[in-house]
Structure 1
């Protein structure tokens, strides 16, 4: 791994975490639990679109960036982004109505186009640019929201989506100039063979990611149907904390994935995976304990009176949060060596459990039931991934404990300049 890449990626993710929670606090206090519920549903729909778009703009861009020229893969990503970004939101509008479908179309197109550029940076091992754009997506969004609310006086929840559209569009334009600098536009071409390889790798990785997303978000739709949009807003805060805690594992995973797809040494990849696994496990455990030590009244004071049971939600989600934080590392290892079947299988197991149990548990226990189902689903799917990884490698309990020498090595790499 590049010297300092883990540390810099973690810092960028930590900044995203701070900015995201600032936005969550602002939105809950400005638009309440109902407004937060609307935002959560639209963003969940956007994520569905993104998974389809990511067949060409996601992991396939990163994986093949070192194998083909930029001008041979980027056209597929851009065209696919526009097609999916228009058609899929239109289809989803039949489920949610047309109130926010126009916003969803623009969000889908520009977010997918931007994702193509950002994932290209990962494949080129340009982690600095990846980190910069992931931070800017949050920072610019917040700046635009404040401008729209306080300058243009649009105070409804629409301001959230309008600001996000302009944010994605601006960052796409800027990043495109940077991509095209290293791209010979005259040599842009469409190869059937390259297109097929992009699609074949992309749909396999995205199937797993989409199934895992449904494990993460299907409870939103069940809650909306059985308990109303307000319950979605309340439950979404617990999910927001889950994703905040996953900052560490996702930071490590991005750097690990970029390293694996550019190397052929399997043994070295396994060792780096185990080190990343140890770091993710211990830091995630620390943050879970820290959040559970915060009094429940503090959450109510920060997010509003509707969110008084946030600590209870985090408590019931915590086993699954820890399981996913560790399995994220292993999942990126399998994606990096192009072993994708196990990722699909583990996500499918979790999804089947989520669907069946949600039909019976959520109508009876509401938000608490959604927490229990989500946590068990995370643990089930992660267990299969652990089993497969340790079937191929040797298991030791020290895989979850950093040695003194590893701590020193990690600190040296983290703080050493390139």
Structure 2
């Protein structure tokens, strides 16, 4: 267990470092306004992906052990293609972004969705390391292409970033096909009845699961659009960097969740699933707490040195974000207990309440307190979501224990040492 989680964490940590370097390069070359524009483009791609993932998201992980892979891939790919086409026309007619970006954003969302589908299939088959490699390729290729374009003075604007992530998603998709090939039986045949059944199951589970993700992503990123509308893209750039740094603690819980979700999806033992979740939650909360303490005490001068003179307020924003983002670690891990058990509606309820709280607090705070108001709103929202998840978990028979016992910490350290020595 520890070996798989540690392996995932290693990949995610490396990816997080590269993503930080990407943020630094974009901030230094394009300034706060350019960083804000990049954040809005990424948020838009993420929102489109929410609809892609109604059929091709986490429900794939849950259903892959139970359905034919060919049927899952066929249905998920057709759905993602339709969403990609529709998203282009929605962007075109709503004029949410500059018309120059509409086609590229739609294409990028489609590529990202295909990679996500293939990655989810690998996780469903417990091929977690291969999924980790795919997710590492994306930031790795992005920073290489971005560095060539920026430092070579070939393209020093937001288009360079779009070219970089297009290259990254394309390569990741090609590699993912090689990973999937051994898993797909040549004897598998698709039929209309099989595709219809697969679509129904993916939609039922996917809609419930994605409803939670829709609420959660809107809660986390709606502030970007509000800050741009009320204030400026520069405020979005500053705030988004603070959010990215603080949310980096989630790579701990996401490393845990990847193993947890794959294991619970393949298990019908409720007692085992609860005990596993409680154990992982305690360790996740402790490690995240240590990391968040380090982050909040990084001085403002360092952020100015790294990102540029416009980013001096990042430390203050992080202090406001930290309580909610740390407590949300609890909701992330417990939430995957419900997802792995097929009870996606619980996460949807919790995230829906969090979104409602966030909208109200954003309306009250952002017009007066700028990005500080957005940070306070986010923290309140995350805390509310975590409390709702806790209530449901206790009703399911779980217990609330924030940190592991000293004896458990000693065992964890002992196992970690053995892993490092190996």
Would the TM-score normalized by the shorter structure come out above 0.5? yes
Q: Which residue of 2 aligns with 1:104?
A: 105
Q: Which residue of 1 aligns with 2:115?
A: 114
SS at match of 2:248: helix
Q: Distance in 1 between matches of 2:400 and 2:345?
A: 25
Greater mean alpha carbon deviation, residues 93-102 or residues 269-278: 93-102
Cα contact 1:51–1:210 (8 A) shared by 2: yes
State the shift of 1:356 in Å. Answer: 2.1
Q: Which residue of 1 aligns with 2:42?
A: 43
> Which of the residues 209, 221, 225 maps onto 1:217?
221
State the shift of 1:184 in Å. Answer: 4.1
Greater mean alpha carbon deviation, residues 170-179 or residues 295-304: 170-179
Q: 1:417 to 1:319 in 2, by over 3 A?
A: same
Cα contact 2:62–2:342 (8 A) shared by 1: no
Q: Distance in 1 between matches of 2:136 and 2:174?
A: 16
TM-score by length of 2: 0.94
Q: Distance in 2 between matches of 1:167 and 1:188?
A: 31
Q: Distance in 2 between matches of 1:257 and 1:353?
A: 28
Q: Which residue of 2 aligns with 1:358?
A: 362
SS at match of 2:277: helix
Q: Distance in 2 between matches of 1:70 and 1:396?
A: 37
Q: Distance in 2 between matches of 1:302 and 1:151?
A: 20
State the shift of 1:89 in Å. Answer: 3.6
State the shift of 1:261 in Å. Answer: 0.3
Q: Which residue of 2 aligns with 1:278?
A: 282
Q: Distance in 1 between matches of 2:74 and 2:221?
A: 31
Q: 1:118 to 1:152 in 2, by over 3 A?
A: farther
State the shift of 1:380 in Å. Answer: 0.8
Cα contact 1:275–1:402 (8 A) shared by 2: no
Deviations 1:368-411 (Å, cap 9, x if unpaired)?
111111110111111111111122225354x5224424542575
State the shift of 1:322 in Å. Answer: 1.1
SS at match of 1:37: helix
Q: Which residue of 2 aligns with 1:58?
A: 57
Q: Which residue of 2 aligns with 1:15?
A: 14
Q: Distance in 2 between matches of 1:396 and 1:364?
A: 37
The runs of 5 or more residues in structure 2 that have no matched partner are none
Q: Which residue of 2 aligns with 1:84?
A: 83
Cα contact 1:86–1:108 (8 A) shared by 2: no
The alignment's C-alpha RMSD in Å is 1.9
Q: Which residue of 1 aligns with 2:124?
A: 123
Aligned length: 416
Q: Distance in 1 between matches of 2:420 and 2:379?
A: 38
SS at match of 1:335: helix
> Which of the residues 298, 319, 337 maps onto 2:302?
298
Cα contact 1:75–1:189 (8 A) shared by 2: no
Q: 1:256 to 1:157 in 2, by over 3 A?
A: same
Q: Which residue of 2 aligns with 1:408?
A: 411
Deviations 1:29-82 (Å, cap 9, x if unpaired)?
111101100100000000001111111221121111111121121101111121
Q: Which residue of 2 aligns with 1:164?
A: 165
Cα contact 2:335–2:389 (8 A) shared by 1: yes
* Residue pairs, 1:7-406, within 5 angstroms: 7-93=6-92, 94=94, 95-150=96-151, 153-184=154-185, 187-190=189-192, 191=194, 192-395=196-399, 397=401, 399-405=402-408
Cα contact 2:303–2:311 (8 A) shared by 1: yes
Q: 1:200 to 1:238 in 2, by over 3 A?
A: same
Q: Distance in 2 between matches of 1:172 and 1:417?
A: 34
Cα contact 1:103–1:162 (8 A) shared by 2: no
Cα contact 2:29–2:150 (8 A) shared by 1: no
SS at match of 1:96: coil
State the shift of 1:197 in Å. Answer: 0.4
